[in-house]
Structure 1
């Protein structure tokens, strides 16, 4: 069996990135005719046109779109294997990392994380983005470097993940609420007016299922899209909010928090990143800082 020409992977990667024979040729230091011959050879090997004319531009075929991410990763892995090993000096990093996090993460874990960054790598800046869904698109397209949250069905299987901590749901009310005094029973909890957190707008979830097993049903006053909004309404409108303990610790100051009077839901909060960042030394350093900061803040 003939050994395939692995140099074609580099050529294919550049062609699929540039979608232009001329630009790909300049990057690979090939003449236009040489680049055209390389494309012709790739078409012969793959049995697909790969790039087709659309007006003045070239557009990728469905196979090319399917191969683009795989080829990019193969080339990066090969470059990492052949790259000389080197030590990272965080103090010399000049870079901005974008982190997409759920509500409460910055307030709870941000201070410790930013302190470590300031101590070890003053040239690094962290940009935090609000996480409004569980899609992995921003990790795939590189607009986000690292993400935290609960892995769900919308999380792409290609994404790398590492667990940070377990979190449990608790109840929260303002200090003058009836639940802030006396024993909190399942029935007293259910009788309160509740604010539910749901990005999809659903008004039922694991807490309702737990109450249903006890023959109870809570009164849902409103549905919001985030935990900060739920706590804000609980603080000002007298609602009962059910939120993750660790993730909202920085948002509940001056409020009354209590354990749910029945077995409540627990979640595993993870950090996620795209495989192309796996071998990046600065990204590895950042992942370690995030792990350490979460472990230091969760007791």
Structure 2
């Protein structure tokens, strides 16, 4: 059995194009066409069939789609020679990281400083995070994601960066922070701004309030927590943000700079884990491992 056919099949199922698969593997289109013919003969299935100007997978190929990438990685890991020693001083590479605005605002500077000290030719590109789709990790558009694991992709790897929790913030002098304290009733009676990429009005705190027979009024939904904090600092709206957005051991008190005071929520909400998330195709890459270790070290220093 020619194991190169497995690599060719992986490329064909990913690209769904003979030309695209050939380009991916550095082959000629005719060589990839021959590989597809051999795959069809070996499996007894057409695998990819013409549909207009593109190719579409057969039901059998769709079934293989979830197994072939992992098999290909295993074969390549077995046959790949051991990695040579990583020379950070000579490493020229750009890593793309998908992270929320809060991480970029508070941790990108100390992370870049740590990376530059060890590997002066390494660059970072922070990509927007419109969702938690794992496909960019799978196809290599993203090297690493920072945040709450929200994908159902079973193959992704994770490593805990720190644990976080939700807190409330309001402008200095807000009536909620005055006499009487932050009770569930007084908190629910305020007007609120919510941060949600999906545009949702409901957060876990609403379920906790509902259990007490209370309901808050959400007046505004914005895409990110930094937006919610800035709006809360200039209005009577109350925001709910991760504790990590207030600042850390490596950054100034971000809330105080904005004129905000934080407070503990008057109801219990679950903690959540902030993790580094990557695809196992990079497990054998020493440069990627170094990047993860560096982020872990910066995270532990910022949020001990």
Query: For 1:289, which of 284, 290, 294 is the aligned residue?
Result: 294
Give per-residue Cα distances to partners, 1:115-148, cap 9 Å, x unaligned: 1101111111011122121222221222111111
Q: How does 1:94-105 map to 2 (within 5 A)?
A: 94-105=92-103
Q: Report the equivalent of 1:136.
A: 134
Query: For 1:262, which of 260, 267, 271 is the aligned residue?
Result: 267
Question: Secondary structure at 1:125's aligned position in 2?
Answer: strand
Matched, 1:204 2:178: no
Gap runs ≥5 in structure 2: none
Q: Is the 8 A contact 1:102 1:132 kept in 2?
A: no
TM-aligned CA distance change 1:266 to 1:56, over 3 Å:
closer
Matched, 1:275 2:280: yes
Q: Report the equivalent of 2:176.
A: 179
Query: For 2:78, which of 62, 77, 81 is the aligned residue?
Result: 81
Question: Secondary structure at 2:234's aligned position in 1?
Answer: helix
- Partner Cα separation in structure 2 for residue 22 and residue 230 of structure 1: 43
- Partner Cα separation in structure 1 for residue 94 and residue 20 of structure 2: 32
Q: How does 1:4-153 map to 2 (within 5 A)?
A: 4-13=1-10, 19-20=17-18, 24=22, 38-53=35-50, 60-64=57-61, 67=64, 70-85=67-82, 86-152=84-150
Give per-residue Cα distances to partners, 1:56-102, cap 9 Å, x unaligned: 77665454455457434433433332333222122221111111101
TM-aligned CA distance change 1:23 to 1:286, over 3 Å:
closer
Q: Report the equivalent of 1:160.
A: 157
How many residues are matched?
A: 294
TM-score by length of 2: 0.84
Gap runs ≥5 in structure 1: none
The 10-residue stretch of structure 1 (286-295 or 14-23) with the greater mean CA deviation from structure 2:
14-23
The 10-residue stretch of structure 1 (172-181 or 13-22) with the greater mean CA deviation from structure 2:
13-22
Question: Secondary structure at 1:241's aligned position in 2?
Answer: strand
TM-score by length of 1: 0.85
Q: Is the 8 A contact 1:170 1:260 kept in 2?
A: yes
Q: Is the 8 A contact 1:103 1:247 kept in 2?
A: no
TM-aligned CA distance change 1:44 to 1:106, over 3 Å:
same
CA-based RMSD: 3.0
Q: Is the 8 A contact 2:94 2:122 kept in 1?
A: yes
